[in-house]
Copies of this chain bind each other. A is one copy, B any other.
Amino acid sequence: MDYRFSERMGGMSGSATREIFKLLSRPEIISFAGGFPATQCLPIADVAQIIAEILSGDMGAPALQYGSTEGFNHFREELKRYVAGAGVIAETLDEIQVVSGGQQGIDLACKALLDKGDTVLVEDPTYLTALQIFASYQANIVGVKAGENGLDIEDLTVKIIKYKPKILYVVPTFSNPTGNTYSIENRKAIAEITYKNNVVVLEDDPYAKLRFEGEPLPALKTFDSGGNILYVTSFSKVLSPGLRVGAAVGTKELIRKLAICKQGVDVTTANISQLVVANYLKKGLLQPNIDKSLPIYRERKNAMIAAINAYMPCEYKHTDPHGGLFIWGSIKGLDMATLMPKAIERNVAYIHGSVFHADGGGKDTFRLNFSNASLERIEIGIKALGGMFKEELAKK
């Protein structure tokens, strides 16, 4: 059979993370590649208890029957309270859509907004699967310069004028992959210029609760003056990625379009998953679970920084984030994609940085995840990586 695949497939290869998920099943591999939460932070017993309660009560049948595409109303009430904690105000439930993971929020927004050739601006570098999603809509993806405190507003302005983008995609808090957090001033400036120029901002906010240092910042969405910001959050990093539950918050008009798109995509988010998160929030279990997780993440990040200082070549320049899951850096002169197989030979995995760049640049950059390896394996892994990089530099 000579399949006539769609044009969009030409721009979509299997993503780096997807292939790396497969490597993770080999126990000898120390993976700094994925974005997995620490397995011991997954509240298995609480989830078991909640599901037992759901299925033995009035919600047992609704849990297994069809539900409404927007999500369970009582779950959306919980979500309304939850996002208010980040300063995100939904006036009514019509402004909240349950999604099957934060990523589905991005995908549905693209479906509602993008035609082939439309421009999407992204922080450069940015979340690689978001790039895959934009490619699947055949968007023109343009990177915006960014630094420690957020987007370069001058570059953003120039590119908004030049490309008239439909979407600006950002992860303002503990950005993936850099770990950077946009300042309040930067958030305000982004909200203002995008609103003035009729650009929808997709604010992807899966990591903000994973802050182990410093003070929380209000979401970019809190500076939304006219409804151009769609806020997307996820329970993957703070509760469980396997549940596949997130939420999108925006104007009634925009959320309605997301619901229409979702109807054709997966009808509803899995009911049991929705009800687990709803009851987990209702019982007030989320914050205690996060409080229990943060010291683990802080310790692991510190261990990775210590190992970097001990074993990495001094040419390695990197971030030192106050939260999230990632350390981002570069070693001038090395091609991190080419070195990936050599790292795997030494039983260590990372993700090379070019896949996070809209233009495929950043060949000397790479992302390290610190959340899902033990302190011992962090040291062993960084030592192995550092040794390899030093050898490679010595060859130059």
A interface list, Cβ under 8 A from B: 1-9, 12-15, 18, 21-22, 34, 36-37, 39, 42-45, 47-48, 51-52, 55-56, 60-69, 100-101, 103-104, 107, 111-116, 118, 129, 132-133, 136, 166, 195, 198, 200, 226-228, 236, 240-244, 251, 253-254, 256-257, 259-261, 263-273
Please tell me if the beta carbons of A112 and B9 are within 8 angstroms of each other in the complex: yes
* Residues of B with C-beta under 8 A to A261: 12, 136
Smallest Cβ distance from A251 to chain B, in angstroms?
7
Q: Which of B8, B65, B116, B272 contacts A273 (CB 8 A)?
A: B272
Beyond A21-B68, A273-B272, is A266–B48 a contact (Cβ under 8 Å)?
A: no
Please tell me if the beta carbons of B61 and A52 are within 8 angstroms of each other in the complex: no
Please tell me if the beta carbons of B34 and A60 are within 8 angstroms of each other in the complex: no
Q: Which of B13, B116, B132, B244 contacts A270 (CB 8 A)?
A: B244
Alpha-carbon distance between A195 and B7 when the two chains are bound, in angstroms: 22
* Residues of B with C-beta under 8 A to A272: 51, 242-243, 270, 272-273
Smallest Cβ distance from A8 to chain B, in angstroms?
7
Please tell me if the beta carbons of A69 and B18 are within 8 angstroms of each other in the complex: yes
Q: Which of B44, B56, B64, B69 contacts A242 (CB 8 A)?
A: B64
* Residues of B with C-beta under 8 A to A9: 112, 257, 260
Please tell me if the beta carbons of B55 and A44 are within 8 angstroms of each other in the complex: yes
